[in-house]
Amino acid sequence: MQTTVTPTHCPYCALQCGMSLVPAAGGGVEVAERVDFPVNRGALCGKGRTAPEVLSSAVRLTSPLVRREGELVPASWDEALDRIAEALTRARTAHGVDSVGVFGGGGLTNEKAYALGKFARVVLGTSQIDYNGRFCMSSAAAAGTAAFGLDRGLPFPLEDIPRTGCVILVGSNPAETMPPALRYFTELRENGGTLIVVDPRRTRTAEQADLHLAPRPGTDLALALGLLHLIVAEGRTDEEYLRERTSGWAEARAAAMAHWPEYVERITGVPVPLLREAVELFCAPEAAMVLTARGPEQQSKGTDTVGAWINLCLATGRAGRPLSGYGCLTGQGNGQGGREHGQKADQLPGYRKLTDPAAREHVARVWGVDPDALPGPGRSAYELLDALGGDIRALLLMGSNPVVSAPRAAHVEERLRSLDFLAVADVVLSETARLADVVLPVTQWAEETGTTTNLEGRVLLRRRALPPPEGVRSDLEVLHGLAGRLGVEKGFPTDPEEVFEELRRASAGGPADYSGISYRRLAEEGGVFWPCPAEGAEGETAGGGAHPGTPRLFLDRFATGDGRARFAAVSHRAAGEDTDEEYPVLLTTGRVLAQYQSGAQTRRVAELNAAAPGPFVEMHPRLAERLGVADGQEVAVVSRRGRAVAPARVTSGIRVDTVFMPFHWAGAGRANVLTNPVLDPVSRMPEFKVCAVRLEAVR
């Protein structure tokens, strides 16, 4: 039994709030405040406070399961791992190495994400690996890399937000998605700064704003272009900054000037006076920020949309300067680190590109393999899921629940069912795990040590506080066992610190350089911002380097070849589908305070279920009246892809042409059966945030 206080971090969102775990009177652990961690300063939301409840053996998996005669039944670890190894070998032999897919999760620690990417490419030899973080911030990552040469969720610490002059918060609702972060925006206003919230709903966050802009879903790109037009027309650009620190301004300016205010009002529904007020609030102070989240990013033009919001920062000289800049509020717990170290289809550890010969050479040397043996880039997340049962015949899935979380979810469920073989490693029997041929019970956050990287780029150490239940193993042990059965005896250690030491060498010299970070430093310092290169020759990382880490990026130059930030010359275009006579209303989706992502864990906590027991359809009173629907009455929401049913929640805090559904639930109210999988051409992000639907009262 645990007898000491263990400082660690919450297992949920990308804030990675600090908490302490202390012995509980009846056994196990309970959460206590950890005021020394600067991100949350002791504050926790209900999900963080109740996180230990999912550690209970009563709600989780504690034995491997294998399918016999159509049913999942308990089995030994040897039988479960043997079955997986045999099935993967059978698929590779019959159909080639790319007939095996790997799908990871944004909640995996850096060590597990790194090992999973290495396992796919070294042991399986497959290019078919991606992860659910593709659905999180891939559009922001693509736009940030194009503009700045480097993507990190926030290029500055959260502590800078209260000290800036104005923040434009686009498509983000931290009051419900990451409540401890709301204090930064409250403090901003207390310090005399202003907050502008862009959201089609009047959310709890929008209620705190000085100005709320409520554009039609799918028109955030036009809104940003209209604001830039006014900035130019009113002479508010920073000409010296444009000359010295940017490139591509002429093309971006020309594109913006085609989006005059009245035209933007017709597209977005945001009145011209509010556009002018937003420009005044943003440009008046010396420093300002733009922060985006899933609203503008989860669109088929998400990369262009984020690029247009970055343009506002560049045109006004608000990037790469103190207390100014663009940032993305990452959603998943390790969405940042999860893609930096190799489980994304096109990347190698250290945020290196899989197509870069030098990157392949470096990582292959660390892995002890021939660079030419490494496969090339594979499919993005939705494209990989859509290919299941076709040329992908077997899938290893870790830490994700696409039956609930993927777009066009009913179709994805059909694809999963069509596989020759599905293996799932998870802490609970999720809706996806129920479809598997083999299910492996794996350790949780409090039962394992490992690192995560929060939305600021701050690398953190989670510490093991108690042993897992008998019968449960770590993901690293799973990969070690499978690698050995597939003929690779070395290179997959089960000790997370040993894995991290290799990750440090693999990341050395890359954009996301962790080589100067060690477990010792993380324990002593409470977190280190990447990039943090080691001192001395590349790869000589034992003991950690003296580099202090990099809390603030781009203050001297951007990470591009010439050190200049690049404008995005983009223009408005329509969403993947628009309304028509058959589907006259727009649907947008999102989260609620008491649940998290697909709900696989939070739906097992009584307190959270009491606060948010099920899905709903939020709609404006005028729309409800038109349909003859009363508050609480069942409503069917129908798109070209499926049908979901949930009670109406009637509120004036949403546009009359829009309905909102949270996506945390399976069953009849599964929102993602409706969403459109059309992809952004650059980021391959599906269009979760806008699709055309019709509503039907359920009598």
CATH fold of the domain at 585-697:
Barwin-like endoglucanases (2.40.40)
Q: Above 50 in pLDDT, residue 189?
A: yes
- What is the pLDDT confidence band of residue 542, given thresholds at 50, 70 and 90? very low
Q: Above 60 in pLDDT, residue 682?
A: yes
Q: Read off the pLDDT of residues 29-65 as tens digits, 9 standing for 90 and up.
A: 999 999 999 999 999 999 999 999 999 999 999 999 9
Strand stretches in 308-449, DSSP E: 325-328, 347-348, 352-353, 394-398, 421-426, 438-441
Q: Above 70 in pLDDT, residue 537?
A: no
Q: Read off the pLDDT of residues 406-415 as tens digits, 9 standing for 90 and up.
A: 999 999 999 9
If 0-12 CB within 10 Å is exposed, 13-18 middle and 19+ buried, where does residue 58 land? exposed
Instruction: Retrieve residue 389's tokens.
Output: 């049962």
Q: Above 70 in pLDDT, residue 472?
A: yes
Contact 172, 290 (CB under 8 A): no
pTM (two decimals): 0.96
- What is the pLDDT confidence band of residue 545, given thresholds at 50, 70 and 90? low
What's the chain's Rg over C-alpha atoms? 24
**In sequence order, what are the beta bridge partners of 659?**
587
- What is the pLDDT confidence band of residue 536, given thresholds at 50, 70 and 90? low
- Its CATH architecture, for the domain 154-329, is 3-Layer(aba) Sandwich (3.40)
- What is the pLDDT confidence band of residue 492, given thresholds at 50, 70 and 90? very high
For residue 3, what pLDDT is reported? 60
For residue 330, what pLDDT is reported? 87
Q: Read off the pLDDT of residues 412-471 as tens digits, 9 standing for 90 and up.
A: 999 999 999 999 999 999 999 999 999 999 999 999 999 999 999 999 999 999 999 999
- Average pLDDT, stretch 613-638? 97
Among residues 304, 282, 322, 303, the alpha carbon closest in space to that of 193 is found at: 282
From residue 692, alpha-carbon distances to 348, 519, 585 in Å are 37, 49, 6
If 0-12 CB within 10 Å is exposed, 13-18 middle and 19+ buried, where does residue 101 land? buried
From residue 131, alpha-carbon distances to 9, 327, 382, 437, 541 in Å are 22, 22, 9, 20, 29
Q: Read off the pLDDT of residues 347-401 as tens digits, 9 standing for 90 and up.
A: 999 999 999 999 999 999 999 999 999 999 999 999 999 999 999 999 999 999 9
Domain residue ranges of the chain, discontinuous segments joined by +? 65-135+333-529, 154-329, 585-697
In DSSP notation, 503-556 reads HHHHHTTSSS--TT--HHHHHHHS-EESP-PPSSSTT--TT-------SS-SSS
Q: Scan for tokens 């929102």, then name that residue.
A: 671
- Its CATH architecture, for the domain 65-135+333-529, is 3-Layer(aba) Sandwich (3.40)
